[in-house]
Amino acid sequence: MRDVALQAVYGKYPEAKAQVDEGLGYAIFKNFGLHPGLLSFASGYGVVHDKARNHDTYVDWHRLTIGPGIAVKGLYGLVVFHDQELMEKFESGKWACGGQAEASFLFGDFGGAAEAGWLFTKKADVYYRTYRGVALEIEFFGVGRVSNDEDLNEPAASAPSN
């Protein structure tokens, strides 16, 4: 998932690769979003990569946003961190606030999308890439949270042997 999602984001936003290369770490997610009116819901999974520790933490992602729109979509989300403390808070499950705006119609190779995402901090950059679905929305304010996937983050020593 990581490689596919990063390549999809880089394909639309080539500058994101330089941001990832220069940043302290990143989080990449594969999400499903539903926006039936004034509230939007998204959930998915991903990985937070801390470059200083060369460590991956596998996480689930859940988000609730407020704003007008309609959408049913699959999307990739990339957050590039420029502050170690912010990345550690994000990774440990602290709430993040942000928003998104999008107009898209994508099914396979058919269609197109215009989208933008943001966190309410200058210590991270956010990139969204819808890969399937339809959306016409603006999410003024939202909260999201990651939770560590305990099964995927178990130390290898505790894994059952065959």
pLDDT by residue (tens digit) across 9-18?
Answer: 999 999 999 9
The domain limits of the chain are: 2-150
Q: Which amino acid is at 92?
A: S
pLDDT by residue (tens digit) across 86-123?
Answer: 999 999 888 889 988 999 999 888 889 988 888 888 89
DSSP string, 7-71: HHHHHH-THHHHHHHHSSEEEEEEEEEEE-SSEEEEEEEEEEEETTTTEEEEEEEEEEEESSEEE
Predicted model pTM: 0.87
Quick one: pLDDT at residue 150? 73
Distance CA 147, CA 29 (A): 12
pLDDT by residue (tens digit) across 123-155?
Answer: 999 999 999 999 999 999 999 999 987 777 776
